[in-house]
Amino acid sequence: MAIMKRKILITGGAGFIGSHVIRLFVKKYPEYSIINLDKLTYAANLENLHDIESYPNYRFIKGDIVDLNFLNILFQKEAVDGVIHLAAESHVDRSLENPAEFVNTNVLGTLNLLQAALKSWGGNLEGKRFYQVSTDEVYGSAEHGDFFTEKTPIDPKSPYSASKAAADHFVSAYQNSFKLPTLISRCSNNYGPNHFPEKLIPLMINNILTDKPLPVYGKGENIRDWLYVEDHASAIDIIFHSGKIGEVYNIGGNNEWKNIDLIHALCKIMDEKLNKEPGTSAKLITYVKDRAGHDLRYAIDSSKLQSQLGWSPSVTFEAGLEKTVDWYLSNRDWLNHVTSGAYKDYYAGMYQNR
């Protein structure tokens, strides 16, 4: 079989999930050319990609998806035939403070990418792919016993999820109106190495290490379905290559945890790893004011992806959580650079002449 060459633009590749997707594609597909387009916001960290940055099939380009002119020039120059779009503002708490930033990046940025791809691909859509990486949060909050399927009505409840839902609608509209070959996936909460410590799991790990309170929103009864980040990356690989154009695929771990139970499980692992008396880390648990409009439960049904494309999660939560803790404990520099802001210097040091 002839080796297929592709040039794939992955947006947001310096972020948490994007860096795992980039690593998977760069290593698994040496015949592809992978471009990482990232604006390098506070959430980006090129140190995440240190191990693959000199691979010949990888390139980093600093740029903003909100700049349509820049995107048009990029698409013209690079003859990209696939887009995997992860760039976004991704933190719900920040979306409550600054919703316009989320509309700008998540809605306008996505629309710009759609426009630039369509313009550059023109009449020749054969073999092209525009893949929007979305979230289960667009479905809103699930009642106990219910699961989000791909047919669940979109009902976002936070400015973050509203902006992702709007972006998803634009992607579908481009498929319907212009026959752009699109794919959408909606994944549950990810965890694993390189997760920015503003999100629940890395924030708790960092606070335990620095002996700070562990802020539990409300009563800690909210439920999330957790998936190890490499399992999300493997799902993206399968959907990008084998997904049916125009379809939506849910991705999830079938792994629901109440926040407070998860935090206790994490505290237990941290006590063991740090040789502390059982119960030491849990003493840091502090109940704080609830997040505004806090979605009670996310629960995803990923049976379509499992039965039609043969994907399944490979990492159990017990193993994944331990791997994650081990990673943070053996990458204290990474954590220190992120919390001190020094990670921003990496770009200046590594990429100033490129």
Binding site for ligand TYD (CB under 6 A): 92, 189, 199-200, 203, 215-217, 222, 224, 259, 291
- Toward ligand TYD, which CB reaches closer, 80 or 235? 235
Cβ atoms of 8 and 81 within 8 Å: the answer is yes
Report the residue from 65, 71, 165, 315 that binds ligand NAD according to the rule CB under 6 A: 65
From ligand TYD, ligand NAD, none, which one binds at residue 34 (CB under 5 to 8 Å depending on kind)? none
CA angle 11, 193, 199 (to 5 degrees): 80
CB atoms within 10 A of CB 291: 14
> CA-to-CA distance for 149 and 147, rounded, in angstroms?
6
Positions 177 through 216 that interact with ligand NAD (CB under 6 A): 187, 189-190, 196
Helices 332-340 & 200-209 angle (0-180, nearest 10): 100
CA angle 292, 40, 50 (to 5 degrees): 120
Q: Of the residues 137, 231, 256, 295, which is catalytic?
A: 137
- In angstroms, what is the minimal distance from the CB of 186 to ligand NAD? 7
Task: State the DSSP code for 293.
Answer: T
- In angstroms, what is the minimal distance from the CB of 185 to ligand NAD? 8
Examine the residue annotation and report whether 298 is marked as an active-site residue of this protein.
no
Report the residue from 9, 14, 171, 201 that binds ligand NAD according to the rule CB under 6 A: 14
In angstroms, how far is CA 87 from the centroid of its own chain? 8
- Toward ligand NAD, which CB reaches closer, 133 or 325? 133
End-to-end CA distance of the chain: 36
Q: What sign does the dihedral 337-342-347-353 (CA atoms) show?
A: negative
From ligand TYD, ligand NAD, none, which one binds at residue 162 (CB under 5 to 8 Å depending on kind)? none
> CA-to-CA distance for 6 and 34, rounded, in angstroms?
8
CB atoms within 10 A of CB 100: 10
Q: What length does the chain have?
A: 354
Told to check if 105 binds ligand NAD by CB under 6 A, we report yes
Q: Of the residues 29, 32, 160, 191, which is catalytic?
A: 160
- Toward ligand TYD, which CB reaches closer, 11 or 259? 259
Told to check if 335 binds ligand NAD by CB under 6 A, we report no
Q: Of the residues 38, 64, 81, 136, which is catalytic?
A: 136
Report the residue from 52, 84, 88, 209 that binds ligand NAD according to the rule CB under 6 A: 88
From ligand TYD, ligand NAD, none, which one binds at residue 109 (CB under 5 to 8 Å depending on kind)? ligand NAD
Cβ atoms of 186 and 248 within 8 Å: the answer is yes
Report the residue from 26, 86, 299, 338 that binds ligand NAD according to the rule CB under 6 A: 86
Cβ atoms of 140 and 155 within 8 Å: the answer is yes
Q: What sign does the dihedral 23-262-310-156 (CA atoms) show?
A: negative
Report the residue from 44, 107, 300, 325 that binds ligand NAD according to the rule CB under 6 A: 44
Examine the residue annotation and report whether 146 is marked as an active-site residue of this protein.
no
Report how many helices (DSSP H) and strands (DSSP E) the chain contains, helices first: 13, 12
Told to check if 36 binds ligand NAD by CB under 6 A, we report no
Positions 158 through 177 that interact with ligand NAD (CB under 6 A): 164
Furthest-apart CA atoms within the chain: distance in Å: 66
Span near ligand NAD by CB under 6 A; candidates 40-48, 208-216, 287-295, 297-305: 40-48
Beta bridge partners of 297: 223
- In angstroms, what is the minimal distance from the CB of 192 to ligand TYD? 13
Q: 236: closest CA among 10, 5, 60, 53?
A: 10
- Toward ligand TYD, which CB reaches closer, 129 or 224? 224
Told to check if 114 binds ligand NAD by CB under 6 A, we report no
Examine the residue annotation and report whether 42 is marked as an active-site residue of this protein.
no
Which residues of the shown chain bind ligand NAD in the complex (CB under 6 A)?
11-12, 14-18, 38-41, 43-44, 64-66, 86-88, 90, 105, 109, 133, 135, 164, 187, 189-190, 196
Active site residues: 136-137, 160
